[in-house]
Amino acid sequence: MKEGESDNPLLEAMKNSMLEVENKFSEHEKLRASEEYQSELAFLRQTVRDLIHTLRLCGLTASRWQVFGEKYLLPQHFDDIVEAALTAQLAVENGALNPARRELRHMLEIAVNVAYVDEVRAKVSFDEKVAFYRGKKVHKSNVDHVLDLPLRLFGEHNHKFATSVRSAWVRASNYVHLTKKRIDEKLSLREKGISLGMEAVDMLKDIVSEVNEVCSTVVALTFETIGPSFTGDLLVGSLDEQDEWAFHANGYIALIDSHFDYKHERQGRLEEIQQRRENRIKYRV
């Protein structure tokens, strides 16, 4: 036997395999430390923080409307939405991208279906809303009810927004079961040598954009539920001036913001506001 050769081929193979894993891990740690990777993670965290902040602001702003806090379902489920968003963030940070997408689907189902009940049963009591939600007329395992919402703040783009919400749900649903898409994707990643927890930057960018899209949808539906008066107060009087607010990046939130360009407070510098809004958009619709 030559010097350096092992008399145990299995042990030698295991050592080589472990060395290969360690090398891949080391390379991935360098990738994670890169500016591009960290920038995406920072935006992910900003998105989730701003979701929590915005839902609180909506609750505070609409507190003048006593019915919202006492009879509407949506504010009672803010904590469920936030829990799912935080879980998605933690999953992404630890390389578990597909579990994050399952949380996004859950967020969409809560936001759409609760907003639907609040819309079609706006005048009934909280208990009656709960009973209606529990009934068979509410489809809880999809987001088809988004097509039944008036979506007043989107104007002529309301159907386009509703369709995009359904598309986001379908995309996330591919990661609930072992679908053909998941199998094909897994095989493709295997061919590229990408394993669990070793995501490429492009993969990270994709999931971060999906998180921002779903969180933006939640914000948009919350704005719809509290109505244009309170939403206008929030956007024109506060959020529009916060340059780092993560939802400026979403084209649909920009559409909602443009709904309030008629306000007196904007008339003196409307062109500047419109250009700034356009420059902020990262995910166009």
CA 131 to chain centroid:
28
Q: Which residues pair with 245 in a beta bridge?
A: none
165: nearest Cα among 186, 147, 182, 189: 147
Is the Cβ–Cβ distance between 89 and 211 less than 8 Å?
yes
Exposed/middle/buried for 142, CB within 10 Å: 0-12, 13-18, 19+? Answer: middle
Helix 97-120 × helix 201-226 angle, to 10°: 10
105-109, 173-177, 200-204: which range is least confident on average?
Answer: 173-177
Instruction: Please state whether the predicted TM-score (pTM) of the whole model is above 0.85.
Output: yes
Is the Cβ–Cβ distance between 214 and 166 less than 8 Å?
no
Share of the chain above pLDDT 90, in %: 77
Exposed/middle/buried for 117, CB within 10 Å: 0-12, 13-18, 19+? Answer: buried
DSSP letter at 235 equals H
Beta-carbon count within 10 A of 238 CB: 12
What pLDDT, on the 0 to 100 scale, is given for residue 15? 77
What pLDDT, on the 0 to 100 scale, is given for residue 112? 98
Reply yes or no on whether the pLDDT at 13 is more than 90: no
Mean pLDDT of 180-208: 79
Is the Cβ–Cβ distance between 78 and 59 less than 8 Å?
yes
> Tens digits of per-residue pLDDT, 215-245?
999 999 999 999 999 999 999 989 999 999 9
CA 24-208-197 angle, to 5 degrees, is 20
> Tens digits of per-residue pLDDT, 102-158?
999 999 999 999 999 999 999 999 999 999 999 999 999 999 999 999 999 999 999
Is the Cβ–Cβ distance between 166 and 143 less than 8 Å?
yes
What pLDDT, on the 0 to 100 scale, is given for residue 178? 75
Going by pLDDT thresholds of 50, 70 and 90, the confidence category of residue 11 is confident
Distance between CA atoms of residues 215 and 209, nearest Å: 10
Instruction: State the average pLDDT for the chain.
Output: 91
What pLDDT, on the 0 to 100 scale, is given for residue 21? 66
**What are the backbone angles phi and psi of residue 227, rounded to the nearest 5°?**
95, 165
Distance between CA atoms of residues 178 and 174, nearest Å: 7
What pLDDT, on the 0 to 100 scale, is given for residue 270? 96
Q: Is 263 helix (H, G, I), strand (E, B) or coil?
A: coil
Going by pLDDT thresholds of 50, 70 and 90, the confidence category of residue 195 is low
Reply yes or no on whether the pLDDT at 190 is more than 90: no
What pLDDT, on the 0 to 100 scale, is given for residue 2? 53
58: nearest Cα among 221, 167, 187: 221
Is the Cβ–Cβ distance between 83 and 98 less than 8 Å?
no
Q: Which residues pair with 250 in a beta bridge?
A: 283
Mean pLDDT of 194-213: 88
What pLDDT, on the 0 to 100 scale, is given for residue 18? 73
